[in-house]
Structures are given as C-alpha cells and as structure tokens.
Amino acid sequence: MAVLRPNQPAPGTRLIALAEIPAPGAKAFTFGAGKERFECFVVHWLGGAIGYVNECPHARTTLDWSPDKFFNLRKDALQCGTHGALFVPESGHCFLGPCKGKSLIRFPVRLDADGWVVVAEDTPAT
Ligand code: FES
C-alpha cells in the first residue's frame, strides 16, 4: 500500500462499528498529533460506510462544524463548517459553495463480517 500521508492508518485497522454512527451521520478520527496528524471521517449513509479525508478542498480546513457534525440540517448533504460548502454524501462532490466542482478526498473503508468499518486495501490516487 502506498502511504499517502504520515499517520494514515494501515489497511485492516478497525475504526468503529457502523451501528455506532447515527444514520445519516458521521464520525471523525484523528491519528497522530500536530502537523503530521491524519484526520478522516466515516459517513453512515444509505446503509453503508464511506470514508473521506477530513479536509475541505476550499481552504483545507476540517469540515465538521462541531465534533462529528458533518451533515447539514436537512441531513441530505455534507456541509463544511468554515464557509458552508455542500457535498454529495456518496461521492464527496461539492455541488454548492466556494469549492463547487471539486471533491473531498476518498479514504477507503469497507465493512467486515462483524459490521465494523475497517480501513480498506486500496488507497486514493492523491
Ligand atoms: S473551507 Fe470549506 S467551504 Fe471554505
């Protein structure tokens, strides 16, 4: 596996049982500390898990507007807490806001047989 960032967890790392994340909802994870820390989040959406790097394509801030709050009030889109950009939960594509047309960076996850969200083998290109 090509490691994209320092402190990025290895494939096979168990993150959380999907049932522990509200649906729809999301949970943030931080690995490491300081400038080298790796931040990601897992979205519980339509019965599955989707992972993203917790970094808005606009100003590179984290998205959550309070701990683990990634969804807008209607719970139909991910929303950046800094300037309000909206993203399609299943694709990470920004459809409204200052980074319209750009996308969140996918962080590959999968569900194991016990319903846990696990870091997947394949990694995004960059
Ligand atoms: S940093 Fe996310 S919309 Fe500006």
Instruction: Read off the pLDDT of residues 10-56 as tens digits, 9 standing for 90 and up.
Output: 999 999 999 999 999 999 999 999 999 999 999 999 999 999 999 99
Q: Which CATH architecture group holds 15-119?
A: 3-layer Sandwich (2.102)
Write out residues with Cβ below 6 Å of ligand 1.
56, 58-59, 61, 80, 82-83, 85, 97-99
CA angle in degrees (0–180, nearest 5) for 83-25-41: 70
Protein residue with least CA distance to atom 4, ligand 1: 83
Is the pTM here over 0.85, yes or no?
yes
Helix locations, the chain, DSSP H: none
Q: What is the pLDDT of residues 86-123, one digit of tens each?
A: 999 999 999 999 999 999 999 999 999 999 999 998 75
How many Å apart are CA 39 and CA 60, to the nearest integer?
Answer: 12
User: Which of 39, 69, 99, 102 to probe ligand 1 with, by most ligand atoms within 8 A of CB?
Assistant: 99
What is the domain partition of the chain in residue ranges?
Answer: 15-119
CB 51 within 8 A of CB 38: no
